[in-house]
Chain A
Amino acid sequence: MLTNNDKITIPQTVALLITTILATGILALPRNVANAAGSDGWLLVLLAGVISYFSSLIVGALVKRFPGDTFIEYSQKVLGKFPGYILGFILILYFIFVSAMSVRVFSEVMNAFMLINTPRGFIIITMLLSSVYLIRHGIEPIARIGEILLPILIIPIFAMYLTALPRADFSELLPFFDTPVKDLAISTIHTAYNFLGFEILLMIGPYMRSPERVMWTLLFSIGFITLTYLFIVVIVFASIGVEDSRILLWPAMSIIRTIMAPGGVFERLDALALALWTIASFTTINGMYYSGTLAAAHLMGAREFKFFVTIFFPWVYLFSIIPGNPLDTMRWTQISGMAGIVIAIIIPAIILVISIVAKKGGKTS
């Protein structure tokens, strides 16, 4: 149906997933887990990672069950024309909303740490325009950008936080297993928001060159993300303590401000850190925005998706300026996280169950 027949390889899919999942949410992660479980925060990250992996397998199963189809097509096949159409519309809305929230959070971080006087609209619009420029080239360049930016993103993040190691006091992580199991269970769901992003597979699944290896792709991506989160949470807790992590809005960013770069060339590493968050946000916006436009193109049966890239631009911008202040933004990202759980886990699960019961899709049909 779509003229764009580009396929992406497994390493490219892994890179695309990791860079899409990894976003500025990482900066607030230590605060969220510290508030939820205190010194057991790291355990929360681990649990959330495991749960996210098993939930993402539902999406993976759908990709394998309906090769060559996106969510738009198989939801209509399984649930019927009209309900599928409604679900597709919700999916588009979700992707636009998540792109808007990602760019908004990025602009909040920028305004807080780097460009204090720069208007928010400038940051949001320039960021979105760069994204539009890339997305118009299609899936393959997006995946290749992910491939290039992944090492540029990951290696400095680890290097940067490792410089905090000499001052780290790992006794801050004690006591272990102090939190009631019930609290842990609830907080795990909230922490799982940070692992959202794998739902882009609902749209880009059929563009994978070898969709039969989707489970490994997910295991590798989410496993990698879990380790990265774990590393950052442990370093933050160990260097500024659980109590301080609760107070600061973006604790992972704040400890970077306290790091003195070895050799003393730079007073602080903010510059590097913010360059990295720019990359992280950019790739997240790309993944979400592209999935949204792709969903729209499939839903309308359009031959070209580029048209929708332009059409969605003002809407993403409008959604991104809904929250009034940083705290408001935090609330909206919680809402988008809840919506994400529904879109990425619950709806795919329903479709999967119905398709198995009704014997639709799979190799037989």
Chain B
Amino acid sequence: MTDVFSRLRSGKKRDLYYERDMSPDTSKKLKKDIKENEKEVHEYLYDCDDVITRDFYMGTTQKHEMALMYIDGLVDKNLVQEEILKSLMLMTRQAPLEHNLGQNFFNMVKEGLLTAADIKEVDNFGEVVLGILSGDTILFMDKFEKALIISTRGWEKRGVQEPTTEAVIRGPREGFTETYRVNIALIRRRLKDPNLKVKTIKLGRHTRTDVGVLFIQGIASPNIVDEVLKRLNTIDVSGVLESGYIEQMIEGDWLSFFPQLRRTERPDVVAACLMEGNVAIVTDNTPFVLLAPGTFLSLFQSPEDYYERWYIASMIRLLRFAAAFFAMTFPALYIAMTAFHPGMLPTDLVLSIAATREGVPFSAVVEAIVMVISLEVLREAGVRLPGPIGQTIGIVGGLVVGEAAVRAGIVSPIMVIVVAVNAISSFAIPNYSVAIGFRLLTFIFIFLATVAGLYGIMLGLLLLTIHLVTLKSFGAHYLSPFVSFRFSEGKDFVVRGPMPSMEIRPGYTRPKDMNRMNDRRHDTTEKMEDENADKQ
């Protein structure tokens, strides 16, 4: 194939362009001549019309040739004009430089003239090209075999907004954005701790996405940090566009229905998890941050569990577990009860179910499958359509069509209730992708219930438990603290214990420092004299 293309192509430069490995080469050093450097960079960035080159000179009597290179749209033009061009071209004219600075000229420019904040010295083309592509500005100077990378990144970006997938009533409204640095800053603002470490690596042959691994030294287990870095470094793909790529590449069991890393849009969740010994993986260009190791319990956690009082939080968490159960099994239970074991329901209920099923031509199984599938279609349609239309679809689909189908005698009204409860239950799970996983399991349970009634459902639950028990995420049991249960950990479990009693970090991350609190006895008993004491 390559031969055909190269024969079709004409011109020497074109051949060079297509045959050359375009990945930036750090071993290729910069040259003395500014024009040659420019030419070389242009060879790397051939046919990239968004690359801007700005040649200029500095000084009045002795002219120093210089060149700026950057990508239009990725840099903040104001910054380039004010901090680089203005200070180099205008300011130097007002106070002329000494003559014959020689080799010191470069340092003079770097340390004395440029007013930009973030400057790095480089001597090879690899870093120069990567810098240009990342939105930095490169300053070449004639007669020097080095260049300056000036951080001028500034592009159109979304501001910090309220996270859409994890809304809370009580708690901060800030969510991550698509910009790596902003996201790191949002976490850093919550953890003013020198032990919060950020290790950045680049992933993806073409995207060169910044991926940051964050952990708190002294809490996070070094084994987990090493394992995360090791697995990240094994990733060799052409692109990482979203943290989902990374998640699916580094999780242990990709056949599982359950995600083995927790993902969140909220900096407060990341901060809380870091303090529990988790490792966070922040990916550029996405607001979703991954947390390892993930556990089954974390699928049911919402930040509000910790912001609200513990009775409320515990009750809501219990409700979520119940909701997850119904999201999996409710239609299956209905089928099993009506088709296999009608004797187990109260007689009145069985009679009323039978009455509503009068005239419905399909069996309960067919009815359930058709209804669950149409609900999935409705959900998907509602998500894809723009806001107001999505709601309309929900109303038309859910209310109008549902009502009409019942009146027409195609489905029984009780089946509408069953499927609706099933769907609503799944939406009570805080994690959307997990909720979808549970809804997929619904079909498996419907099948099992059709084959063997309640025994089938029980078998399905057993198999699910076996699968979860054998699942591990970065060395942590996925089902902890359900397994190897310790009472001290039980305070953040199915119920969430009162805050002062949560002295110990959860053990699944094997934190180096178990104590969450130093002073274990919080004396908050009311000792202040009340107002009546004065009157005595």
B344 touches A278 (CB 8 A): no
Query: How many residues of chain A have a CB within 8 Å of chain B?
Result: 33
B459 touches A133 (CB 8 A): no
A137 to B477, CA, bound (A): 14
Q: Say yes or no for B340: interface residue by CB 8 A criterion.
A: yes
Determine the main DSSP class of A at the interface with B.
helix
Q: Say yes or no for A110: interface residue by CB 8 A criterion.
A: yes
Q: Say yes or no for B16: interface residue by CB 8 A criterion.
A: no
A148 to B343, CA, bound (A): 30
- Tell me the chain A residues, 110-135 only, with Cβ under 8 Å from chain B: 110, 114-115, 118, 122-123, 126-127, 130, 133-134
Q: What residue in chain A is nearest B483 (Cβ atoms)? A: A144
- Tell me the chain B residues, 435-487 only, with Cβ under 8 Å from chain A: 452-455, 458-459, 462-463, 465-466, 469-470, 477, 479, 482-485
B483 touches A147 (CB 8 A): yes
A147 to B482, CA, bound (A): 8
A126-B452 in contact given A147-B485, A268-B343 (Cβ < 8 Å) = yes
Chain B proximity mask over A1-20: 1 for CB below 8 Å, otherwise 0: 00000000101100000000
A24 to B479, CA, bound (A): 27
By a CB distance below 8 angstroms, the chain B residues around A274 are: 454-455, 458
Q: What residue in chain B is nearest A266 (Cβ atoms)? A: B344
Q: Say yes or no for A149: interface residue by CB 8 A criterion.
A: yes
B483 touches A148 (CB 8 A): yes
Q: Say yes or no for B341: interface residue by CB 8 A criterion.
A: yes
Q: Say yes or no for B401: interface residue by CB 8 A criterion.
A: no
B453 touches A115 (CB 8 A): yes
Q: Say yes or no for B347: interface residue by CB 8 A criterion.
A: yes
B454 touches A275 (CB 8 A): yes
By a CB distance below 8 angstroms, the chain B residues around A202 are: none
Contact of A267 (CB < 8 Å), options: B345, B453, B459, B465? B345
Contact of A148 (CB < 8 Å), options: B340, B344, B482? B482
Q: Taking the nearest CB of chain B, how far is it from the CB of A280, in angstroms?
A: 11
By a CB distance below 8 angstroms, the chain B residues around A264 are: 346
Query: How many residues of chain B have a CB within 8 Å of chain A?
Result: 26
Q: Taking the nearest CB of chain B, how far is it from the CB of A191, in angstroms?
A: 29
Q: What residue in chain A is nearest B485 (Cβ atoms)? A: A147
A114 touches B455 (CB 8 A): yes
Most buried by B among A122, A267, A279: A267
A184 to B469, CA, bound (A): 44
Contact of B454 (CB < 8 Å), options: A122, A126, A148, A271? A271
Contact of A278 (CB < 8 Å), options: B337, B343, B458, B483? B458
A9 touches B484 (CB 8 A): yes
Q: Say yes or no for A141: interface residue by CB 8 A criterion.
A: yes
By a CB distance below 8 angstroms, the chain A residues around B477 are: 144
A275 to B337, CA, bound (A): 13
Chain A proximity mask over B498-534: 1 for CB below 8 Å, otherwise 0: 0000000000000000000000000000000000000
User: Other than the known A11-B484, A271-B337, what 19 A-B pairs have Cβ atoms closer than 8 Å?
Assistant: A114-B340, A114-B455, A122-B452, A123-B455, A133-B466, A137-B469, A144-B477, A144-B479, A145-B466, A148-B479, A149-B465, A266-B344, A266-B345, A266-B346, A267-B345, A270-B341, A271-B454, A275-B458, A278-B455
Residues of chain A at the chain B interface (Cβ within 8 Å):
9, 11-12, 110, 114-115, 118, 122-123, 126-127, 130, 133-134, 137, 141, 144-145, 147-149, 264-268, 270-271, 274-275, 278-279, 282
- Interchain Cβ contacts under 8 Å between A and B, 30 examples: A114-B340, A114-B341, A114-B455, A115-B452, A118-B452, A127-B459, A133-B463, A133-B466, A134-B469, A137-B470, A141-B470, A147-B483, A147-B485, A148-B465, A148-B469, A148-B482, A148-B483, A266-B345, A267-B343, A267-B346, A267-B347, A268-B344, A270-B343, A270-B344, A271-B454, A274-B455, A275-B454, A278-B462, A279-B458, A282-B462
Residues of chain B at the chain A interface (Cβ within 8 Å):
337, 340-341, 343-347, 452-455, 458-459, 462-463, 465-466, 469-470, 477, 479, 482-485
What are the nearest 9 A-B pairs in CB distance? A144-B483, A278-B458, A134-B466, A137-B470, A144-B469, A141-B470, A267-B346, A141-B469, A275-B458
